[in-house]
């Protein structure tokens, strides 16, 4: 008997030792693994521009939805309170404010939403604020309404508000 294969004292069995190379065992060589890694790298490099564009598009769409929701919130607050409410734009941030006391002093209804830090979007507009009256009409807009442009990278979208206080469903006029 080989001195390296000693029997177990209590059972008399020869302990099994893992073999380094088993005859007939299959596996992958280093070259095969490297080829697979290189192919995965090429596939992900080709897919990155597409996923980056989808991410930009989704961020812009989310910012547009957030902006339209803030307009709707300001309009609903004006109707609910029976007092003027305002969507105030300050740079790339927006905030809904309400004149709860009827004194002309607007009080924030919620915290400001920073579109640039949340969605990487810049905001430009034809007006800095929209004031909704108690009936939900945009009282400070001209007859052409207001246009708000959202830009993320090379993509652009816009939200158009009519004087009736409604977001135009299709494009700005």
CATH number, domain with residue 52? 3.55.40
Length of the chain: 173
Q: Cα–Cα distances in Å, from 170 out to 33, 56, 103, 173? A: 53, 21, 36, 9
Does residue 131 or residue 9 have the better pLDDT? 131
C-alpha to C-alpha distance for 123 and 113, rounded to whole angstroms: 12
Q: Tell whether 92 is covered by a domain.
A: yes
pLDDT tens column, 126-170: 999 999 999 999 999 988 889 999 999 888 998 999 888 888 876
Would the pLDDT of 21 be above 60? no
Q: Tell whether 1 is covered by a domain.
A: no
Identify the domain containing residue 41 by its residue range. Answer: 30-161
Phi, psi of 114, deg, nearest 5: -90, 100
Structure confidence at residue 43 as a pLDDT band (50, 70, 90)? confident
Structure confidence at residue 121 as a pLDDT band (50, 70, 90)? very high
Structure confidence at residue 66 as a pLDDT band (50, 70, 90)? very high
Q: Tell whether 167 is covered by a domain.
A: no
Tell me what the mean pLDDT of segment 81-107 comes to: 91
Q: Tell whether 86 is covered by a domain.
A: yes
Number of separate domains in the chain: 1
Q: Tell whether 15 is covered by a domain.
A: no
């Amino acid at each position: 008997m080989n001195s390296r294969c000693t029997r177990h004292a209590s059972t008399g069995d020869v302990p099994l030792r893992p073999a380094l190379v088993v005859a007939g065992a299959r596996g992958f060589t280093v070259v095969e693994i490297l080829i697979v890694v290189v192919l995965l790298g090429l596939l992900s490099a080709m897919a990155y521009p597409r996923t980056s564009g989808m991410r930009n598009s989704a961020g812009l769409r989310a910012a547009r939805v957030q902006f339209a929701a803030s307009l709707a919130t300001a309009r609903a607050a004006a109707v609910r309170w029976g007092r003027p409410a305002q969507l105030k734009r300050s740079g790339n941030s927006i905030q809904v404010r309400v004149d709860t006391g009827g004194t002309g002093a607007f009080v924030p209804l919620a915290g400001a939403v920073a579109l640039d830090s949340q969605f990487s979007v810049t905001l430009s507009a034809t007006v800095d604020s929209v004031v909704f009256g108690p009936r939900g009409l945009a009282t400070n807009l001209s007859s052409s309404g207001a246009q708000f442009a959202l830009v993320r990278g090379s993509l652009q979208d816009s939200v158009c508000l009519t004087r009736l206080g409604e977001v135009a469903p299709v494009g700005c006029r």
